[in-house]
Structure 1
Amino acid sequence: MRLSNVLISYLRLPIVVRVALLALFIIFLFGAIIHVVEPDNFPSYFDGIWWAIVTVSTVGYGDFSPSTYIGRIFGMLLILVGVGFMTFYFVSLSTATVTRQNSFLEGKASYNGKKHIILVGWNERIRETLHQLNGIHSRIPIVLIDETLDNNPVDYSNVTFIKGNPTYDDTLLRASITDADILIISADQSKNEVNADMATILTLIAAKGLKPNLYCIVEVLTNNQILNATRAGADEIIQTNKLSSFVMTNSIVSHGMSATLLVMLDNLAGNKFEYIKSTPNHIGKTYQACINELLEEEMLLIGIKRGDESFINPSPSFTILDADELLIIKH
């Protein structure tokens, strides 16, 4: 019964491992046999193993060799059997390596890392996001999920491509979503806006079902779906159309504003927006006083968040209260 269990366990191993184990068994077996058959030429078990390894690898140093007929017969058997297994092993190893590499490039492999960022969907916005993230920190592990691509579209070493439908648990689990830190869902603009938002929310629901505390940032195109995205558990909602309309409106009012805004945002590369909790040292002080104080720490205060309200560049006399959050730009 135990022997059959061992055989079943052996047969379940990958082909490369099985061939390697069989080759090692042959080497140890013939090493022991030659030591018993010709103890004078092979005074130790280790010498026999050494001879077997040199023989099957076709190196043939000649420091040990059988001199009797029976010893040479075992040597010929080792050459016929062992060399065949070793050749098959290296062929299998090469095949497995190429297959795994192709699976990795084609998005068929699974990601096994932790504390990574998952990006869903492929478009120019995601391409630029990857470029910006790698400009800030090239070692951030990133997993890209898309079902339309055939191969990894970027050559960043820290980006793993997973091909599949992001609304399916299997795809998300292959991206190791339960160990991820952040999920970003980009709207599929090849669909109409309503269908794109529905796909985004469905992906969000699937992700939250697998990891409820996962921080999720979603792109929504229509105002009607903002509430649904919030209900589905979105931590942040990016309203692409609203942002675009804001830029267009300001460009109408002030010509050239779109280029200025783009340059301003591009110059923030390496810096970041961040909310920080107000400390006892900030409470009771004016907005202007906090600006001067934070500048000494190389942080630029640009606004205050109080509950659900945000105040961008409020009056200099605006007073900081307990539980306020300070919106800053820092290196």
Structure 2
Amino acid sequence: MLQSAYYKFIEAPILVRIFGIAVFFIVSFGTAVHFIEPKTFPTIFEGIWWAVVTASTVGFGDYAPKTTAGRLLGIGLIFAGAGFLSAYFINLAAVAVTSQNSLREGKAVYTNKNHLIIVGWNERTKEIIDHLQAMPFSRHIVLIDDSLRANPYSEKTVHFIQGAPYRDEILKKANLKDAAIALITSDQNKNEMHADMNSILSLVAMKGSNHTLHCIVEILTNDQVINAERAGADEVIETNKHASSVMLNSLHQEGASKSLKQLLNPLNGGHLKSMEPLEEWNNTTFGELAVLLLQERTLLIGIQRAEETMINPPLSIEIKTSDKLLVIKH
């Protein structure tokens, strides 16, 4: 029994061990002084009170031993108990500093749930995090990056993890199994082909660890889109293709890029969403439903039917319950 308790004690964290030894000395010396000088210390509690005050070097002076034996006991308490108490507070401060440094340097484990994981630090990531911070609803963000050496944000907003996103120990630190959604961005320090290969590798690692996690991956080259889908991507963002489309629209219509930016900016009150039609909307025409949804400040812009997406279809086309409605919703 004693041996088991001893092994548990030596295996405990150093703060627990130091604090336990300090408490042991305080209780022992406080009890001893009560028996040595029962008139000065009528109860064991008053002896322990004196031991706490003495060991902490506060020295209120309300209790003080009067005999030689009592004073020798006090000297022993100062040498033993005060030393352990000082060591406890020094180690406590060191642990606090180490914990803060671990958070800042990306070494600490994330323990909360339903968080957003973003892979890669770049200008796009910064824009996303800044927009998410400005939105009325908040979801805690875990940022995984191998190039950063310190968290670019406050630890209250973004939990940073330093390391490669395809390594199991890094994904465990990010608490991937309890995450709600993941966004994998392209590595700005690699060429397009290598960046896509790195993104797909991260996607495979994430889906392998949590196959139900909704993963959005940024792909730069058209050839790798199919590989990202094969790897299990729930959504593929073709950055170069989207940017080319915006540029092409600007060539045909000046100012189109500004209009599109305002349209897609969530901070302006609009969110591009996909929604399921209600049963009562079955066989309703696109034009009729568009007018109906406008009353709820929802702009119907298209329909997704099977693998086909129709933007601004004919007003006479009928809505089916199997369709998905593309809307801009406040």
* TM-score range normalised by the length of the shorter chain: over 0.9
Which residue of structure 2 lines up, in the alignment, with residue 198 of structure 1? 197
SS at match of 2:99: helix
The offset of 1:264, in angstroms, is 2.9
- CA separation of 1:7 and 1:271: change in aligned 2, threshold 3 A: farther
Contact 2:167 2:205 in 1 (8 A): yes
| Deviation string, structure 1 residues 65-96 (Cα, Å, up to 9, x no partner) | 22222122111111111111111111111111
The offset of 1:276, in angstroms, is 1.7
SS at match of 2:281: coil
Which residue of structure 2 lines up, in the alignment, with residue 53 of structure 1? 52
The offset of 1:269, in angstroms, is 4.1
Which residue of structure 2 lines up, in the alignment, with residue 235 of structure 1? 234
Query: Which shows bigger deviation, 65-74 or 123-132?
Result: 65-74
Counterparts in 2 of 1:205-216, with a 5 A limit? Answer: 205-216=204-215
- CA separation of 1:137 and 1:17: change in aligned 2, threshold 3 A: farther
Which residue of structure 2 lines up, in the alignment, with residue 264 of structure 1? 263
For 2:137 and 2:28, locate their aligned partners in 1 and report how far apart those are by CA, in whole Å. Answer: 50
Identity %: 46
The offset of 1:156, in angstroms, is 6.3
Q: Return the letter of the residue paired with 2:304.
A: K
Contact 2:303 2:323 in 1 (8 A): yes
TM-score for the superposition, normalised by structure 2: 0.95
Which residue of structure 2 lines up, in the alignment, with residue 177 of structure 1? 176
1:319 aligned onto 2:290: no
The offset of 1:13, in angstroms, is 2.1
1:245 aligned onto 2:244: yes
| Deviation string, structure 1 residues 160-195 (Cα, Å, up to 9, x no partner) | 110001110011111111111111000113211111
Where structure 1 has 5 or more consecutive residues not aligned to the other structure, the ranges are: none
Counterparts in 2 of 1:44-123, with a 5 A limit? Answer: 44-123=43-122
- CA separation of 1:271 and 1:9: change in aligned 2, threshold 3 A: farther
Contact 1:181 1:214 in 2 (8 A): yes
- CA separation of 1:211 and 1:293: change in aligned 2, threshold 3 A: same
Query: Which shows bigger deviation, 109-118 or 155-164?
Result: 155-164
Contact 1:32 1:48 in 2 (8 A): yes
Q: Return the letter of the residue paired with 1:314.
A: P
The offset of 1:267, in angstroms, is 6.2
SS at match of 2:257: helix
SS at match of 1:304: strand
For 2:128 and 2:66, locate their aligned partners in 1 and report how far apart those are by CA, in whole Å. Answer: 70
Contact 1:136 1:269 in 2 (8 A): no
Q: Return the letter of the residue paired with 1:194.
A: M
1:24 aligned onto 2:23: yes
The offset of 1:123, in angstroms, is 0.3
| Deviation string, structure 1 residues 3-47 (Cα, Å, up to 9, x no partner) | 333223222222222211211111111122122222222222221
| Deviation string, structure 1 residues 188-235 (Cα, Å, up to 9, x no partner) | 132111111111111011111111101100001111111111111100
SS at match of 1:281: helix
Contact 1:186 1:219 in 2 (8 A): yes
Counterparts in 2 of 1:147-166, with a 5 A limit? Answer: 147-155=146-154, 157-166=156-165
Q: Return the letter of the residue paired with 1:306.
A: R
Please report the RMSD computed on the Cα atoms of aligned residues, expressed in angstroms.
1.6
Which residue of structure 1 lines up, in the alignment, with residue 302 of structure 2? 303
1:124 aligned onto 2:107: no
SS at match of 2:304: strand
Contact 1:135 1:270 in 2 (8 A): no
Which residue of structure 2 lines up, in the alignment, with residue 33 of structure 1? 32
Q: When the two structures are aligned, how many residues end up with a matched partner? A: 330
Contact 2:181 2:214 in 1 (8 A): yes
For 1:222 and 1:177, locate their aligned partners in 2 and report how far apart those are by CA, in whole Å. Answer: 27
Q: Return the letter of the residue paired with 1:19.
A: I
TM-score for the superposition, normalised by structure 1: 0.95
SS at match of 1:110: coil
SS at match of 1:52: helix
The offset of 1:270, in angstroms, is 4.1
Query: Which shows bigger deviation, 235-244 or 293-302?
Result: 293-302
The offset of 1:265, in angstroms, is 2.6
Contact 2:110 2:175 in 1 (8 A): yes
